[in-house]
Amino acid sequence: MTTVPVDRTAPAPVPAQSIYQSRVADYWNAEENPVNLELGKIDNLYHHHYGIGAADLSVLEEPDPDLRREAITTELHRLEHAQAELLSAHLGPLSPADRVFDAGCGRGGGSVVAHLRYGCHADGVTISAKQADFANEQARGRGIDGKVRYHHRNMLDTGFTSGAYAASWNNESTMYVELDLLFAEHARLLRRGGRYVVITGCYNDTYGQASREVSLINAHYICDIHPRSAYFAAMARNRLVPVHVQDLTEATVPYWELRREADHLVTGIEDTFLSAYRNGSFQYLLIVADRV
C-alpha cells in the first residue's frame, strides 16, 4: 500500500520547543561522545542507543593495547547494531513504497537500517540541527538521500502529513518528552493498522519510586525516565494497542559489562546502569503496538 507523500515544499522552521527541550537540543548540538562517534566510524552507521546479546569477551584478551581498543569498539558496535536490527524487524511487513518515521533519530543509524531491510522511505526527526545535518550527509554519502531524509523538527509536532506512515518508532528517546504528547503525534502520523515500536529504559513500578540509580541516569542525560506503567496507559489513551512486549534487561547487561572495560569509551555511567538493572529498579523494554 502506497502512503501519502510527505510535504517537503516548505522549508522546515526551527522547531517550537520548551525551555527544557532547548536545553536538550543544546546538549546534543554540543555532544561529541566517543562512544557514539567511534563506533559509528566502523561502517558509517551511527547508533545513539545501547546493545543487546551475548558479548564476545575474547576481545578483552588482546594484549596489544591498540588492537584491544579496536576489537572492543567493533564488538560494542556489533551489539548496538543487533539492537537496531531487532527493532527494525518488528516494523514490518513493509514495502519499498511505504514510509516510516524515526522519532528522535539522533545521527540517523536507525532510519538507514530500516531502509536497508525494507527499501522503504524514511523520515528521521531530531531537535538537534547538528544531528540532522550530520545524518543527511551520511545519507548522501550512501546514495540513499532520495529515500532517507532527516529533519530538524520537534517529534511532538512534526508538521508531516496525517496517516502518511506505515510504521514509526522511538529508540531510547521517549525519556525526553511527555508520553501522551508523543503518542498522540505517532497516532496522527500512522495509518490505521500502522505499527509503532519503542525500545526504552523505564523504571520498574513494582520497585516503588525511581531509584537512586535512575535519578543518576536522569541527571547524566538531562532526561526524565518514565515508569513502565506510563507507557501502556499513554498508549491506551492514544489508539496504540500493544501486540508484543519483550523484556531486554538481561540481554543488554553483557553490553554494559563490556563497555565498562572500554577505557577509551567509558562515560562514568556504566556501573550505575548495571546496578539499576541488577537491583530490579530499571528495565529495558521493547514494546510493539498497532494503531487502531
Q: What is the pLDDT of residues 109-120, one digit of tens each?
A: 999 999 999 999
Share of the chain above pLDDT 70, in %: 95
Element (H, E) at 26: helix 19-30
pLDDT of residue 148: 98
Torsion of CA 108, 142, 255, 55, to 10 degrees: 160
Phi, psi of 156 (to 5 degrees): -85, -15
Q: What's the chain's average pLDDT?
A: 93
Q: What is the pLDDT of residues 193-246, one digit of tens each?
A: 999 999 999 999 999 999 999 999 999 999 999 999 999 999 999 999 999 999
Which parts of the chain fold into alpha helices (H)?
Answer: 19-30, 34-40, 65-89, 109-118, 129-142, 179-189, 212-221, 228-237, 249-260, 270-279
Phi, psi of 78 (to 5 degrees): -60, -40
In eight-state DSSP terms, residue 58 is: G
- Number of neighbouring beta carbons within 10 Å of residue 174: 27
Q: Above 70 in pLDDT, residue 7?
A: no
Q: What is the pLDDT of residues 134-177, one digit of tens each?
A: 999 999 999 999 999 999 999 999 999 999 999 999 999 999 99
282-291 and 190-203 beta bridge pairing: antiparallel
pLDDT of residue 5: 45
pLDDT band at 1 (very low <50, low <70, confident <90, very high): very low
Cis peptide before 93 (omega within 30 of 0): yes
Query: What residue type is assigned to position 290 of the chain?
Result: D
What is the distance between the alpha carbons of residues 118 and 131, in angstroms, rounded to a whole number?
Answer: 24
Mean per-residue pLDDT, 248-257: 98
Domains of the chain with bracketed CATH: 28-153+161-291 (3.40.50.150)
What is the distance between the alpha carbons of residues 28 and 48, in angstroms, rounded to a whole number?
Answer: 11
C-alpha cell belonging to residue 199: 525500545
| Crossing angle of helices 65-89 and 109-118, rounded to 10° | 60
